[in-house]
Amino acid sequence: MATPADAHPRRTGDQIKVWFRFVPREGWLPYDTEGLWATVLGLDTARVDNVPFLQNGIAQGDVVRFVTDAEGVHWARDLVRASGHCVVRVLPVPGGPLGPNASAVHAEFERFGLGGEVFSQALPLVAFDVPDDADLAGIKQVLTVGVSNGWWHFEVGCATDRWRVA
């Protein structure tokens, strides 16, 4: 039996999972939703606490508005405030010099102090949280060198104006 959405009232500071819907991209993972952990800030707002692997346009630290359905699932509605963070996703080339090794990818970005998450051991996709005060030009250079050397493919899932001009 489903629990009514208001059976467990949320308090500021509670952590919830906020779900995002999107159209799956051709040639990419076949999902159309992604759940991200978030900290409740108000009745219908929460701050995203982790880095998205699939959802574009959202970064760690962003504040989103959500609605809760009858089953108690929290669905993102819109972006309330951007954090200024960027998201960069790096997928090592299995036959490349780093192999399918997410730790090797992390090591290449260690000097920048980036936090990130790995999708799974079977799919070593690394999603990096890139704060606004990071060395964006340096990070872009490492990304480009990695592609040139056959280490990885990458995409930018969320960019700021500062990222675009770095």
Question: Looking at the domain assignment, is residue 126 inside a domain?
Answer: yes
Shared domain for 28 and 65, answered yes or no, is yes
**Is residue 149 located within the same domain as residue 102?**
yes
Residue 21 lies in a domain: yes
pLDDT of residue 25: 82
The two tokens of residue 162 are 């500062």
Tell whether 53 and 121 lie within a shared domain.
Answer: no
Say what percent of the chain tops pLDDT 90. 86
91-129 b/e (C-beta count within 10 Å ≥ 16 → b): bbbeebebebebebbbebbeeeebebeebeeeebbbbbb
Does residue 10 lie within any of the structural domains?
A: no
Asked whether the predicted pLDDT for residue 6 surpasses 80, the reply is: no
Query: In this structure, what is the dihedral angle of CA atoms 143, 107, 122, 75, given to the nearest 10 degrees?
Result: -70
In a domain, 115, yes or no: yes
For 44-88, what is each residue's pLDDT tens digit? Answer: 999 999 999 999 999 999 999 999 999 999 999 999 999 999 999
Number of domains comprising the chain: 2
Domain carrying residue 24: 15-81
Spatial distance between the Cα atoms of 89 and 129, rounded to a whole number of angstroms: 9
Same-domain pairing of 74 and 94: no
Is the pLDDT score of 8 beyond 70? no
Give the per-residue pLDDT at 2: 44
As a whole number of angstroms, the longest Cα–Cα distance in the chain is: 54
State the pLDDT at residue 164. 97
Tell me what the pLDDT averaged over the chain comes to.
93
